[in-house]
């Protein structure tokens, strides 16, 4: 029996990487066996920050769908679709925006941070769409009466804002139609980038999801190791080594032994990288093969997304009619 409805989405903003997989998708694959899941490629959200260049948007959508399916998301178990293909997302965002206080949006923790960070890259983020990002996110969740949303602890504030919007809506229109969505916290494995910083496309330090064995090995060889270690026989400091952080995720059985051998100067960085490459490629080879297969089936990818949009549309239309009725927007 299902534990309830889950909604979650990802922006198609570039090539999917292992950090994305460990941070969210791995958890989704587990949740699909326990909940009724609605997973959306949220292309409208992508426009809030990449509004000035949409040339790669359709390619990014297709690539994300391939990544999701090759990782193990099942289109029979889940509703998988593109956000903009269900017009009710935009419609509900507009209606919710009519009664959401401006001050609520301005206090979102990441709002000012992103304006500064993206502004430093020459991007003007003082737009209506970017400010209203949390309203669109709330619309995504509430449109399907989602009970739960998988989030990291740093995203809890966004979900709390959605719950505030639910309470305000119910009070204002004297109704009780939305569940207050609760967080499902994921114990995500955090992977650093190959240079030791946060794994991010903007840093150019990612390992692409579904990368070939040759590509994975080449990127492992570029990983930053213990900078204080000059010779193989020098005692190492695994906690300061990017390679060892990956060993702890992809080579859990051997990681404690590797740690001790590194500290004793009994294994060098080259051998450690080779051992990691063997383990990572063994674990990821199936995903890479599935991805290659799906890349040759564009009609199937389109069929999955079209069918998902049709299923989502049925739910969205029904719930939207109820929302408009209580607002007297007939």
Q: How confident is the model at residue 22 (pLDDT cuts 50, 70, 90)?
A: confident
In the residue annotation, 198 being an active-site residue is answered as yes
The pLDDT, as a whole number, for residue 101 is 96
Measured in degrees and rounded to the nearest 5, phi and psi for residue 45 equal: -65, -40
Whether the per-residue pLDDT at 152 is higher than 80: the answer is: no
Active-site residue, selected from the candidate residues 201, 263, 290, 324: 201
In the residue annotation, 324 being an active-site residue is answered as no
Residue 175 buriedness (CB in 10 A; 0-12 / 13-18 / 19+) = middle
The pLDDT, as a whole number, for residue 200 is 84
Active-site residue, selected from the candidate residues 114, 123, 263, 290: 114
Q: How confident is the model at residue 188 (pLDDT cuts 50, 70, 90)?
A: low
Mean pLDDT of 151-167: 87
In the residue annotation, 87 being an active-site residue is answered as no
Active-site residue, selected from the candidate residues 198, 232, 310, 325: 198
| pLDDT top residue among 190 and 225 | 225
| pLDDT top residue among 322 and 227 | 322
Whether the per-residue pLDDT at 1 is higher than 70: the answer is: no
| pLDDT top residue among 65 and 3 | 65
Mean pLDDT of 202-219: 91
Predicted TM-score (pTM) of the model is 0.90
Mean pLDDT of 176-190: 87
Question: What is the percentage of the chain residues whose pLDDT exceeds 70?
Answer: 98
Q: How confident is the model at residue 244 (pLDDT cuts 50, 70, 90)?
A: very high
Whether the per-residue pLDDT at 154 is higher than 70: the answer is: no
Whether the per-residue pLDDT at 315 is higher than 90: the answer is: yes
Query: Which CATH class, in words, describes the domain spanning 210-292?
Result: mainly alpha
Give the architecture (CATH level 2) of 5-191+298-326. 3-Layer(aba) Sandwich (3.40)
Going from N- to C-terminal start, the domains of the chain cover 5-191+298-326, 210-292
The predicted-structure confidence for 83-94, as pLDDT tens digits, reads as follows: 999 999 999 999
The pLDDT, as a whole number, for residue 103 is 94
The predicted-structure confidence for 219-234, as pLDDT tens digits, reads as follows: 999 999 988 888 888 9
Whether the per-residue pLDDT at 312 is higher than 90: the answer is: yes
């Amino acid at each position: 029996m299902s534990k309830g409805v889950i909604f979650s989405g990802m922006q198609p903003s570039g090539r999917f990487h292992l950090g994305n997989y460990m941070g969210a998708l791995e958890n989704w694959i587990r949740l699909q066996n326990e909940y009724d899941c609605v997973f959306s490629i949220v292309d409208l959200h992508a426009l809030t920050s990449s509004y000035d260049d949409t040339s790669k948007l359709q390619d990014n959508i297709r690539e994300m769908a391939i990544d999701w399916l090759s990782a193990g998301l099942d289109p029979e178990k889940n509703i998988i679709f593109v956000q903009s293909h269900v017009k009710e997302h935009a419609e509900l965002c507009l209606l919710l925006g009519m009664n959401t206080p401006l001050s609520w949006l301005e206090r979102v923790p990441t709002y000012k941070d992103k304006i500064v960070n993206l502004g430093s890259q020459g991007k003007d983020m003082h737009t209506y769409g970017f400010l209203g990002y949390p309203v669109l996110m709330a619309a995504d969740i509430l449109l399907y009466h989602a009970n739960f949303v998988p989030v990291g602890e740093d995203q809890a504030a966004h979900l709390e804002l959605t719950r505030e919007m639910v309470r305000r809506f119910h009070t204002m229109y004297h109704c009780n139609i939305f569940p207050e969505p609760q967080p499902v916290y994921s114990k995500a494995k955090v992977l650093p980038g190959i240079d030791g910083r946060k794994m991010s496309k903007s840093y150019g330090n990612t390992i692409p999801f579904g990368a070939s064995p040759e590509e994975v090995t080449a990127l492992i060889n570029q990983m930053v190791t213990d900078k204080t270690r000059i010779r193989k026989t020098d005692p190492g400091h695994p906690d300061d080594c990017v390679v060892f952080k990956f060993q702890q995720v992809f080579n859990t059985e051997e990681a404690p032994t590797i740690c001790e051998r590194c500290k004793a100067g009994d294994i060098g960085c080259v051998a450690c990288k080779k051992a990691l490459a063997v383990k990572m490629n063994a674990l990821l080879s199936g995903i890479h093969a599935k991805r290659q297969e799906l890349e040759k089936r564009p009609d199937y990818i389109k069929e999955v997304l079209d069918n998902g949009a049709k299923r989502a549309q049925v739910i969205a239309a029904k719930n939207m009619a109820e929302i408009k009725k209580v607002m007297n927007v007939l």
